[in-house]
Amino acid sequence: MSYANATVTPAQRAKAATTVIGIHALIGAGLIAGLAVTTFEPVEEPPSPKATIVVEPPPPADPQVVEDPVPQPRDIIYVPPSPFPLTPNDPIPTSPTMAPPGPPITNPGEQAGPRPTETPRATPSPTPSPSPTIAAVAARPTNGPAGWITTDDYPDRDLRRGNEGTGSYRLTIGSNGRVTGCEMTRTTGHSGLDRQTCRVIQRVARFTPATDTTGARVAGSYTGEVTWQIPE
């Protein structure tokens, strides 16, 4: 040991001391740094659990509730006919406020095709103005009824028997004014006098025929009374 100290110079001793001091300083600094790191190291907190959101799909729609969409009707625009005749080269006039007509509307199950020809409406004939109404006129005799039967027309049989009586008659007058029929509405009491009454009147009586409300000649009738009396 004394040999070693005898061979080390003072400079070497100073260098060795300086090296030892440096080593100790490094060791002390390392300890201090280790303590500082150990003391102030932040503690990591465990991550908080995240909330889980579950999105449930909407329930399926009831097939019985779903309604089919109602088809909306299309607007039908009427274009009035032109008051003036058009030639093939004339443009078709359209109203400024109306759109041109669209394609014809057909049912979904109906096939498009030519439209049936429309039957033209019959033009009503003008109503004739009513003719003036006039009063109807009955048949009138043109020769006096008092002269139709005279004493010369008395039947011989009834004259001999003294048959007398008063009766009523009804005549049918044609549109020509002639007597077309005779009937006794009240008898004279004697068949011979009744037959003679119609026979004579149909032969000699003349009439102006009856007319209706338009003035046309029509058949008519005439009633009268006759008295058969034997002259004195």
Domain boundaries, the chain: 143-228
Q: What is the mean pLDDT of each run of 10 residues along the chain (232 residues)?
A: 51 71 72 54 54 57 55 60 58 56 57 58 69 82 89 93 95 94 96 95 94 92 94 81
Q: What's the pLDDT at 4?
A: 44
- Find how far residue 204's CA is from the centre of its chain: 70
Q: What angle do CA 104, 109, 112 make, to 5 degrees?
A: 35
Q: What is the CA radius of gyration of the chain?
A: 73
| Cβ contact 224:171 at 8 Å | yes
143-228: CATH topology is TolA/TonB C-terminal domain (3.30.2420)
In this predicted structure, what is the pLDDT of residue 22?
73
Type of residue at 184: M
Chain centroid, CA 37 distance in Å: 100
Strand partners, 224: 169
Dist CA 159 CA 151 (whole Å) = 10
What is residue 93's predicted lDDT score, i.e. its pLDDT? 54
* 214/133 Cα distance (integer angstroms): 6
Beta strands in the chain (DSSP E): 140-141, 165-173, 179-186, 207-208, 210-211, 217-218, 220-228
Inter-residue contact 100 to 81 (CB < 8 Å): no
Q: What is the pTM of this model?
A: 0.43
